[in-house]
Structure 1
């Protein structure tokens, strides 16, 4: 049986089953800041994820080893390290493309986790494995290829460009219409995709992204 990707990543020991029908079971609001260096390359992507209260409560139950109904610093550190290791196989839900080609990223040094107002808050930065110059068409986004986790940007201002090197670039936030995506890709969005979305990379077509042209 296949398990929920984000559940494995965030909880480690919990094993909530993922049904055959792909739809979100975990919800998070995100903020993504794309930072450009003075050398004209992408320096890093800074992520902030805030998870829903139900999922956050499950995390609390699983990682509260001393059962004091809160996550102590050592427990938060253990949770962050669990996520850092587990999400590596899924590129931390982070996508960078340059002229249509996927750009791999490095593992973050640390994932910082806190629990505020009964919601799990996750902060971390990732860097490209090789230089990604601000030339041509770039896209940036966060999505779970399994569709188990819904990661949403509440407003367009939650996708941010930082750095003087972006001054000559144009950018726009793209929020795809699912009906249009399905209509335009009917020949490739097969029943196999909907039953096993992890077997394809088509889920990125539905994900909100920031497009940058330099």
Structure 2
């Protein structure tokens, strides 16, 4: 089955289920959680750097003038496509407050660049509902289909910004896959590993920033 490369990360319904058992796209990410003056989460700033293989396939798909690079208008088209496509996946954001899931608004724009053979995306999203800096908050970025691997190279790539966090404690949690599987044997069935689409179990494996205020 053929699919447009940039849609692979979002329109996973076009991908055979068996292909979803392991990542095909690799992203190095940075997430900054920004506190607002009103004592709640103002926005979440994302930076994604895609692997060279996927990046080159995007160039092939969007390089309309075939000059082997992406012009500003072509980069803008990539950003527009991703903005539309990832809406159904909440832009891979995984937010909770006291265990309750919080969705995000569409970003105003997804900025795209192409440097040194790699595609970069920059965008900010805001929570749909207010997230006061009280209680237990969790912030992560993950693809629920497991088709895209989103990695934070160091703990510093998950950051809190703003005076509102001064009274809070925070830590980066990197779950051990073997331990997650052992603790969730009844939930993580063979069906999940063959096709995790439509479940939220993949977040158990995702790196996240936990904040307690």
Q: TM-score, normalised to structure 1's length?
A: 0.93
The count of residues paired between Structure 1 and Structure 2 equals 211
- Residue 41 of structure 2: aligned partner: 42
1:190 is the counterpart of 2:189:
yes
Supply the distance in 1 between the matched residues of 2:19 and 2:8 (Cα, whole angstroms). Answer: 19
Structure 2 vs 1, CA of residues 76 and 2 (structure 1 numbering), >3 Å: closer, same or farther?
A: closer
Alignment correspondent of 1:114: 113
Q: Is 1:75 matched with 2:74?
A: yes
Relative distance call for 1:7 and 1:147 in structure 2 (3 A) is farther
Counterparts of 2:9 and 2:44 in 1: how far apart (Å)? 20
**Matching residue of 2:124:** 125
Are 1:57 and 2:56 matched, yes or no?
yes
Would the alpha carbon gap of residues 18 and 57 (structure 1) be closer, same or farther in structure 2, given more than 3 Å must change? farther
What SS does the corresponding residue of 1:19 show, helix, strand or coil?
helix
Asked if structure 1 preserves the Cα contact closer than 8 Å seen for 2:28 and 2:49, the reply is yes
Q: What's the CA shift string for 1:29-53, capped at 9, x where partnerless?
A: 0000000001100000000000000
Q: Secondary structure at the match of 1:70?
A: coil
Deviation at 1:199, TM superposition (A): 2.3
Q: What is residue 143 of structure 1 aligned with on the other side? A: 142
Deviation at 1:147, TM superposition (A): 0.5
The match for 2:212 is: 213
Per-residue Cα deviation, 1:141-165 (whole angstroms, up to 9, x for no partner)? 0000111110000000000000000
* Residue 30 (structure 2) pairs with residue 31 (structure 1): yes
Q: Give 5+ residue unaligned stretches, structure 2.
A: none
**Is contact 1:106–1:129 with CA below 8 Å preserved after alignment?**
yes
TM score, norm. by length of structure 2 = 0.94
Does the Cα contact within 8 Å between 1:143 and 1:150 map onto a contact in 2? yes
Determine if contact 2:26/2:148 at 8 Å carries over to the other structure: yes
SS at match of 2:144: coil
The answer to whether the 8 Å contact 1:3/1:18 transfers is: no
Is 1:71–1:115's contact at 8 Å kept on the other side of the alignment?
Answer: yes
The more displaced of 151-160 and 189-198 is 189-198
Structure 1 residues 182-191 or 151-160, which shifts more?
182-191
Asked if 1:170 is matched to 2:184, the reply is no
Shift of 1:198: 1.0
Aligned residues of 2:79 and 2:109 also touching (Cα < 8 A): yes
